[in-house]
Amino acid sequence: MPTLEEPKIFTVREFTRDAKAILEAAFDSVWIEGEISNLRTPSSGHSYFVLKDNAAQVRCVLFKGYRSGMKYRPEDGDHVVLFGRATVYEARGEYQVIVERVEPHGLGALQKAFDQLKKKLSEEGLFDEARKRPLPEFPWKVGIVTSPTGAAIRDMLNVIRRRNPKTSVLLYPAKVQGEGAAEEVARGIQALNQVPDVDVIIVGRGGGSLEDLWAFNEEVLARAIFNSKLPVVSAVGHEVDFTIADFVADLRAPTPSAAAELVVPELSEMVALLRSETNQLINVMRRQLEERNVRLLQLSQRRRFRNPQEIFAFKAQKLDDLDRRLMRGLDQWALFQRKRLENAARRLLLGSPLKMIERMQERLDSRRRQLTRCASLLTQTGQERLRNSARRLETRMPVLLERRQERFEGLARRLNSLSPLAVLDRGYSICSHEGKALKDSEKVQAGDSVEIRLAQGQLKCKVEEK
């Protein structure tokens, strides 16, 4: 008779591994739509989150390698579409999705990344108008960072050559599209800043899609423009194209050709302006010379120029007036100094040592008389006060002695009542052994010597029995 086969029993590890293999084979690559929740990115750089909808949720992990290559940075609450593969995390027995790509639902990843970076740099102040510098009025050397084979450089060179052939151009060739393009353009800006005679820098390229222009939306390029010591003009794409570089640059040009026109002034216009200013200056100088000639002619016809002696006569009269004023002033000054000298002599006479000794002797005699009078008064007053004090002392001393005697006797009685000797007077005695009062018979043995203090005298005894 056939027997039933025994059921196969799995260990937890075996069951988890088999379930993981089945799940990974069934969902090796899958697109999932949902909302991001509980997003966290620890110091390891890996991101962990939950993707959920109204009915269910699944744990997801975005490892650092995939995360670093993404332009879009997911956030809590974003509605996204992600691509990855399903697996089982054996340590907890939980299934999860290893995410390789994340895109915002309804809005392109590049556009979301553009908005995020724009907000970040704006909050840091990279777009502030107050920090932007004016372009040089007459640049003689223009630095350009762009592709050496693109149409943009040809257009800019044509415009610069047409507007001012005297202006030289220094080209830093760089990729303007694809991986590493932003870093190359940033290095070009840094290199041109080291050239001493470059006046202004133009960065740009021709038009294209958002992906084509993305190098000019990278943070590394934005910070290179911000840190540039030279003014930077951004000329990326067409007039409708806006990039992060446009917001950071000192000036945004709608096209590369327009950038060249904005940076390099028209030489013919400059020459015409210079000629106009020169003609105006010559006319102004001619009018001033004519006015000065007329003025000189008017002055030369005055009487003083025909008879110069009148000028010296007036000066001689003024000199005589000054001489008289000086002599009057000297006389007054001498009189004033004489009075000052007389006053000083009087003060000196009053302050002579003999006069001072006489005044001091008079003051001394006056103080001596005052002291004699005060001493006599003090002596009489002191004797009277001494007699009064002696009388008060003779009156109060017996009373005070009597009070002190009574208080002493009271204290003696209180002290005697508290004395141990008073207890001995009533027939009690104090027994001591080895210098200590004996309170317990257990402290001595038969044959020990003890001392007994009586009211009158002491006894030395030996213990016969306890």
Predicted confidence pLDDT, tens digits, the chain (466 residues): 445 667 888 888 888 888 888 888 888 888 998 889 899 988 888 999 999 988 889 999 999 888 877 767 788 888 888 899 999 988 888 899 999 888 777 556 667 778 788 888 888 888 898 888 999 988 989 999 999 988 889 999 999 999 888 889 999 999 988 888 889 999 999 999 999 899 999 998 888 777 778 889 888 999 999 999 999 999 887 777 788 888 999 999 988 999 998 999 888 777 778 888 888 998 899 899 988 888 888 877 776 676 766 666 667 778 878 888 888 888 888 888 888 888 887 777 776 677 777 777 788 888 888 888 877 777 777 777 877 877 777 777 777 888 888 888 878 777 776 666 667 777 778 888 887 877 777 778 888 888 888 877 888 888 888 7
**Residue 86's pLDDT is what?**
92
Give tens-digit pLDDT for 83-107: 999 999 888 888 999 998 887 775 5
Euclidean distance between CA atoms 186 and 222, whole angstroms: 8
Angular region, 146: left φ>0, alpha ψ -120 to 50, beta rest: beta
Matching residue, tokens 């379930």:
19
For 90-101, give the DSSP string. TTTTEEEEEEEE
Q: Kindly state the DSSP code that residue 107 receives in the 8-state scheme.
A: S
Given CATH 3.30.70.580, say whether it is the number of domain 138-265: no
Euclidean distance between CA atoms 176 and 206, whole angstroms: 9
Euclidean distance between CA atoms 340 and 334, whole angstroms: 10
Matching residue, tokens 């080209």:
171
Euclidean distance between CA atoms 96 and 19, whole angstroms: 12
**Residue 109's pLDDT is what?**
62
Domain 12-105: CATH superfamily is Nucleic acid-binding proteins (2.40.50.140)
* Contact predicate 171/153, CB 8 Å: yes
**Residue 285's pLDDT is what?**
92
For 109-131, give the DSSP string. HHHHHHHHHHHHHHHHTTT-GGG
For residue 169, list its beta bridge partners.
142
Annotate 195-226 with b (16+ C-beta within 10 A) or e (fewer). eeebbbbbbbbbbeeeebbbbbbbeebbebbb
Provide the whole-model pTM.
0.45
* Contact predicate 199/139, CB 8 Å: yes
For 292-334, give the DSSP string. HHHHHHHHHTSHHHH-THHHHHHHHHHHHHHHHHHHHHHHHHH
Euclidean distance between CA atoms 334 and 136, whole angstroms: 73
Give tens-digit pLDDT for 354-375: 777 777 778 888 888 888 887 7
Annotate 66-75 with b (16+ C-beta within 10 A) or e (fewer). bbeebebbbe
Cα angle value 27/31/35 (rounded, 5°)? 120
* Contact predicate 263/162, CB 8 Å: no
**Residue 345's pLDDT is what?**
77
